[in-house]
Amino acid sequence: MSDIFDYEVLEKDGHVLLTFSDSEQKLQNITETQLGKTALFTDRTDLSDYQIISAYRSAWHVESSFKQMKDTDFLTVRPIFHWTDPRIAIHIFICVLAYRLCTLLRKELHQKGIDCSIDQCLESMNAINRVTTFYGDIAKPKKIEAFIEGDELASRIEEVYGLQQKYYS
Protein backbone atom coordinates (compact mmCIF):
# COMPACT_ATOMS: atom_id res chain seq x y z
CA MET A 1 0.00 0.00 0.00
CA SER A 2 2.97 2.30 0.47
CA ASP A 3 3.26 2.25 -3.32
CA ILE A 4 -0.07 4.11 -3.52
CA PHE A 5 -0.49 6.02 -0.23
CA ASP A 6 1.71 8.44 1.67
CA TYR A 7 1.33 8.00 5.42
CA GLU A 8 2.95 9.11 8.65
CA VAL A 9 2.53 7.85 12.21
CA LEU A 10 2.90 10.61 14.83
CA GLU A 11 2.73 10.78 18.59
CA LYS A 12 1.25 13.90 20.14
CA ASP A 13 0.17 14.47 23.73
CA GLY A 14 0.35 10.73 24.44
CA HIS A 15 -1.87 9.85 21.46
CA VAL A 16 -0.88 8.01 18.31
CA LEU A 17 -1.99 9.81 15.16
CA LEU A 18 -2.05 8.46 11.64
CA THR A 19 -2.06 10.78 8.68
CA PHE A 20 -2.39 9.50 5.14
CA SER A 21 -3.10 10.70 1.66
CA ASP A 22 -3.25 9.15 -1.74
CA SER A 23 -0.68 10.09 -4.28
CA GLU A 24 -1.93 10.59 -7.84
CA GLN A 25 1.63 10.32 -9.11
CA LYS A 26 2.20 6.96 -7.36
CA LEU A 27 -1.14 5.60 -8.58
CA GLN A 28 -0.40 6.71 -12.14
CA ASN A 29 3.02 5.06 -11.96
CA ILE A 30 1.54 1.73 -10.79
CA THR A 31 -1.21 1.91 -13.41
CA GLU A 32 1.33 2.34 -16.18
CA THR A 33 3.85 -0.22 -14.97
CA GLN A 34 1.96 -2.99 -13.15
CA LEU A 35 -1.84 -2.95 -13.30
CA GLY A 36 -3.47 -4.83 -16.15
CA LYS A 37 -0.29 -6.61 -17.14
CA THR A 38 -0.56 -10.35 -17.64
CA ALA A 39 2.13 -12.64 -18.94
CA LEU A 40 0.92 -15.73 -20.77
CA PHE A 41 3.18 -18.71 -21.35
CA THR A 42 2.27 -21.42 -23.82
CA ASP A 43 3.86 -24.12 -25.91
CA ARG A 44 1.24 -23.67 -28.64
CA THR A 45 3.47 -22.20 -31.33
CA ASP A 46 0.81 -23.01 -33.93
CA LEU A 47 -1.50 -20.29 -32.55
CA SER A 48 -1.28 -16.58 -33.26
CA ASP A 49 -1.00 -14.06 -30.42
CA TYR A 50 -4.65 -13.12 -30.98
CA GLN A 51 -5.77 -16.77 -30.71
CA ILE A 52 -3.79 -17.29 -27.49
CA ILE A 53 -5.22 -14.15 -25.88
CA SER A 54 -8.72 -15.03 -27.08
CA ALA A 55 -8.45 -18.54 -25.61
CA TYR A 56 -7.19 -17.11 -22.31
CA ARG A 57 -10.00 -14.56 -22.10
CA SER A 58 -12.68 -17.14 -22.90
CA ALA A 59 -11.60 -19.51 -20.11
CA TRP A 60 -14.46 -18.13 -18.01
CA HIS A 61 -16.89 -20.07 -20.23
CA VAL A 62 -15.38 -23.37 -19.08
CA GLU A 63 -15.32 -22.22 -15.45
CA SER A 64 -18.95 -21.15 -15.74
CA SER A 65 -19.89 -24.57 -17.15
CA PHE A 66 -18.31 -26.39 -14.23
CA LYS A 67 -20.01 -23.99 -11.81
CA GLN A 68 -23.34 -24.64 -13.55
CA MET A 69 -22.95 -28.41 -13.19
CA LYS A 70 -21.98 -28.09 -9.51
CA ASP A 71 -24.45 -25.55 -8.17
CA THR A 72 -27.68 -25.97 -10.06
CA ASP A 73 -30.94 -27.70 -9.32
CA PHE A 74 -31.27 -29.05 -12.85
CA LEU A 75 -27.93 -30.17 -14.26
CA THR A 76 -26.01 -31.17 -11.19
CA VAL A 77 -23.43 -33.95 -11.39
CA ARG A 78 -23.83 -34.81 -7.71
CA PRO A 79 -24.88 -36.90 -5.95
CA ILE A 80 -23.36 -39.86 -7.74
CA PHE A 81 -25.00 -43.13 -6.71
CA HIS A 82 -22.48 -45.36 -8.49
CA TRP A 83 -19.44 -47.18 -7.18
CA THR A 84 -17.68 -48.53 -10.26
CA ASP A 85 -15.50 -46.41 -12.51
CA PRO A 86 -17.40 -47.22 -15.74
CA ARG A 87 -20.75 -46.27 -14.20
CA ILE A 88 -19.34 -43.04 -12.74
CA ALA A 89 -17.87 -42.20 -16.15
CA ILE A 90 -21.23 -42.80 -17.85
CA HIS A 91 -23.03 -40.73 -15.20
CA ILE A 92 -20.68 -37.80 -15.77
CA PHE A 93 -20.93 -38.23 -19.56
CA ILE A 94 -24.72 -38.03 -19.36
CA CYS A 95 -24.54 -34.90 -17.18
CA VAL A 96 -22.12 -33.21 -19.58
CA LEU A 97 -24.29 -34.26 -22.54
CA ALA A 98 -27.37 -32.80 -20.84
CA TYR A 99 -25.48 -29.56 -20.22
CA ARG A 100 -24.39 -29.46 -23.87
CA LEU A 101 -27.94 -30.00 -25.08
CA CYS A 102 -29.12 -27.18 -22.82
CA THR A 103 -26.46 -24.84 -24.21
CA LEU A 104 -27.60 -25.70 -27.73
CA LEU A 105 -31.21 -25.02 -26.71
CA ARG A 106 -30.14 -21.69 -25.20
CA LYS A 107 -28.29 -20.78 -28.40
CA GLU A 108 -31.31 -21.71 -30.52
CA LEU A 109 -33.63 -19.67 -28.29
CA HIS A 110 -31.25 -16.71 -28.56
CA GLN A 111 -31.44 -16.95 -32.35
CA LYS A 112 -35.24 -16.88 -32.06
CA GLY A 113 -35.15 -13.74 -29.90
CA ILE A 114 -35.46 -15.31 -26.44
CA ASP A 115 -32.55 -14.49 -24.14
CA CYS A 116 -32.38 -16.45 -20.91
CA SER A 117 -29.94 -18.46 -18.85
CA ILE A 118 -30.06 -22.24 -18.74
CA ASP A 119 -31.46 -22.15 -15.21
CA GLN A 120 -34.16 -19.63 -16.16
CA CYS A 121 -35.17 -21.72 -19.16
CA LEU A 122 -35.33 -24.99 -17.25
CA GLU A 123 -37.15 -23.44 -14.29
CA SER A 124 -39.78 -21.93 -16.59
CA MET A 125 -40.16 -25.10 -18.64
CA ASN A 126 -40.47 -27.13 -15.45
CA ALA A 127 -43.75 -25.32 -14.77
CA ILE A 128 -45.33 -26.53 -18.02
CA ASN A 129 -47.24 -29.76 -17.50
CA ARG A 130 -49.51 -31.99 -19.45
CA VAL A 131 -52.00 -33.55 -17.08
CA THR A 132 -54.19 -36.52 -17.97
CA THR A 133 -57.00 -37.34 -15.55
CA PHE A 134 -59.00 -40.57 -15.70
CA TYR A 135 -62.33 -40.89 -13.88
CA GLY A 136 -65.47 -42.93 -13.88
CA ASP A 137 -65.73 -46.65 -14.63
CA ILE A 138 -62.39 -48.47 -14.16
CA ALA A 139 -63.09 -50.76 -17.13
CA LYS A 140 -63.73 -47.80 -19.45
CA PRO A 141 -62.63 -44.58 -17.76
CA LYS A 142 -63.27 -41.13 -19.13
CA LYS A 143 -60.22 -39.09 -19.88
CA ILE A 144 -59.58 -35.35 -19.51
CA GLU A 145 -56.34 -33.77 -20.67
CA ALA A 146 -55.06 -30.34 -19.68
CA PHE A 147 -51.98 -28.37 -20.66
CA ILE A 148 -50.77 -26.23 -17.76
CA GLU A 149 -48.81 -23.23 -18.96
CA GLY A 150 -45.93 -21.65 -17.08
CA ASP A 151 -44.77 -18.05 -16.84
CA GLU A 152 -44.17 -15.62 -19.72
CA LEU A 153 -40.81 -17.16 -20.65
CA ALA A 154 -42.31 -20.65 -20.72
CA SER A 155 -45.18 -19.37 -22.88
CA ARG A 156 -42.75 -17.82 -25.35
CA ILE A 157 -40.72 -21.05 -25.54
CA GLU A 158 -43.91 -23.10 -25.87
CA GLU A 159 -45.06 -20.85 -28.70
CA VAL A 160 -41.72 -21.03 -30.55
CA TYR A 161 -41.70 -24.82 -30.52
CA GLY A 162 -45.47 -25.38 -30.66
CA LEU A 163 -45.37 -27.61 -27.60
CA GLN A 164 -49.06 -27.36 -26.82
CA GLN A 165 -50.05 -28.55 -30.31
CA LYS A 166 -47.49 -31.38 -30.18
CA TYR A 167 -48.35 -32.67 -26.73
CA TYR A 168 -51.96 -31.64 -26.16
CA SER A 169 -53.59 -33.20 -29.20
Asked whether the whole model's pTM tops 0.75, one would answer: no
pLDDT in tens, 114-129: 999 888 888 888 887 7
Q: Which amino acid is at 136?
A: G
Task: Give 20's strand partners.
Answer: 7
pLDDT in tens, 54-94: 998 888 888 888 888 877 677 777 888 888 999 999 988 99
pLDDT band per the 50, 70, 90 thresholds, residue 168: low
Contact residues for 131 (Cβ-Cβ < 8 A; gap 6+): 145, 146, 147, 148
Whether the bond between 79 and the residue before it is cis, its omega within 30 degrees of 0, is yes
Q: Return the pLDDT at 139.
A: 87
Distance CA 100, CA 65 (A): 9
Q: Are the C-beta atoms of residues 56 and 40 closer than 8 Å to each other?
A: yes
Nearest to 42 by CA among 56, 59, 57: 56
Please state the rounded mean pLDDT for residues 31-37.
79
Domain limits of the chain?
Answer: 1-37, 43-116, 127-168
Quick one: 100 exposed, middle or buried, by C-beta within 10 A (0-12, 13-18, 19+)? Answer: exposed
Q: Say if residue 48's pLDDT is above 90.
A: yes
